[in-house]
A = this chain, B = another copy of it.
Amino acid sequence: MLRHTGSARPATRPPMPRPDKTGDMYGLLHGLHPEIVDRHAKPGEIIAHEADLTGFFLYVVDGWIALTKSLEDGETQIIDILLNGDFALIAAKGAPALPYNAEALNTVRYLTFSEEMINGPEPGAAELRSHLAASVAVTQSRTAELLLRVGQGTAEQRICYALLEFYLRLEAIGQIDSNRFHVPMTQKQLGQFTGLSNVHICRTLRRFARNGLVRTSDRTDFDILDLDAVCHMAGVDLEALRAEIVLKQPA
């Protein structure tokens, strides 16, 4: 695991190997703005707080970031998860106010930049804008699919859906090893994603394991033993869901 060097470095090329299949957004961005520095966050670290008034964009180079919202009493909902190659608009210009918090779920490498920085007529800027718009659109799709399960589904449906979302998205960035994958989230965070208590996440995952649906090991390693059954339980058509919630990799 080659992570965590000193932060800044003015370069037009990434200072360390980038994960496969994230397109060349990183290169495009650095081409336009060599001054953009790599940033790092450790698990639990807040990347952007609602109090930030100036909207900005986030680009995830490597790692998991949760976009969250909280009720006054502290109850937190994870609205979307960002993975390698994902963009997010942390605060819109036209729609100014309280957006999400962004919290690192594991050790994350990311970039931040402002709208003006990609506003120009350069071809690279146009390509970035287009990719960014697509990224915002799939975020919307994912949030809607999640809302559907949280609003209408049982605990089992919600959890199966969450696992399938992770499965499809990790597959797209080459992080699935024969139905096994790593999810750097605690059961409490899975509960914040699915609208369930940590206790019920635990119970349901154990039931899945007993029934041969999904096996969990090392707290964060998942193995989908019966993909069809999991899809059926989540009410998911895998191909359709992939097309809807997974960002198409550019070029």
**In the assembled complex, A153 has its CB within 8 A of some CB on chain B:** yes
A237 to chain B, nearest CB (A): 9
Partner of A137, one of B94, B141, B143, B149: B94
**In the assembled complex, A72 has its CB within 8 A of some CB on chain B:** yes
**In the assembled complex, A199 has its CB within 8 A of some CB on chain B:** no
Q: Which residues of B contact A92 (CB under 8 A)?
A: 134, 137-138, 141
* Measured CA separation A77–B243 after assembly (Å): 20
Also in contact, A77 and B151, with CB within 8 A (given A140-B140, A141-B99): yes
A81 to chain B, nearest CB (A): 13
**In the assembled complex, A83 has its CB within 8 A of some CB on chain B:** no
Residues of chain A in range 211-251 having any CB-CB distance to chain B below 8 Å: 235, 240, 243-244, 247-248
Q: Which chain B residue shows the least CB distance to A78?
A: B151
* A151 near B195: Cβ-Cβ < 8 Å: yes
**In the assembled complex, A76 has its CB within 8 A of some CB on chain B:** yes
* B137 near A139: Cβ-Cβ < 8 Å: no
A135 to chain B, nearest CB (A): 9
A146 to chain B, nearest CB (A): 7
Partner of A244, one of B71, B97, B243: B97
* A147 near B145: Cβ-Cβ < 8 Å: no
* B152 near A95: Cβ-Cβ < 8 Å: no
* Measured CA separation A100–B151 after assembly (Å): 15
Residues of chain A in range 113-138 having any CB-CB distance to chain B below 8 Å: 130, 133-134, 136-138
Q: Other CB < 8 Å A-B pairs besides A94-B137, A150-B195, 9 of them?
A: A71-B152, A71-B153, A77-B151, A92-B134, A94-B248, A95-B138, A95-B141, A136-B140, A150-B151
29 A-B pairs whose Cβ atoms sit less than 8 Å apart in the complex: A69-B144, A69-B145, A69-B148, A71-B148, A71-B149, A71-B153, A71-B235, A72-B235, A75-B152, A76-B152, A79-B144, A92-B141, A94-B130, A95-B134, A95-B138, A95-B243, A95-B244, A97-B243, A97-B244, A98-B240, A98-B243, A136-B136, A139-B140, A140-B143, A143-B143, A150-B150, A150-B195, A151-B192, A152-B192
Q: Which residues of A contact B (CB under 8 A)?
A: 69-73, 75-77, 79, 89, 92, 94-100, 130, 133-134, 136-141, 143-153, 157, 192, 194-195, 235, 240, 243-244, 247-248
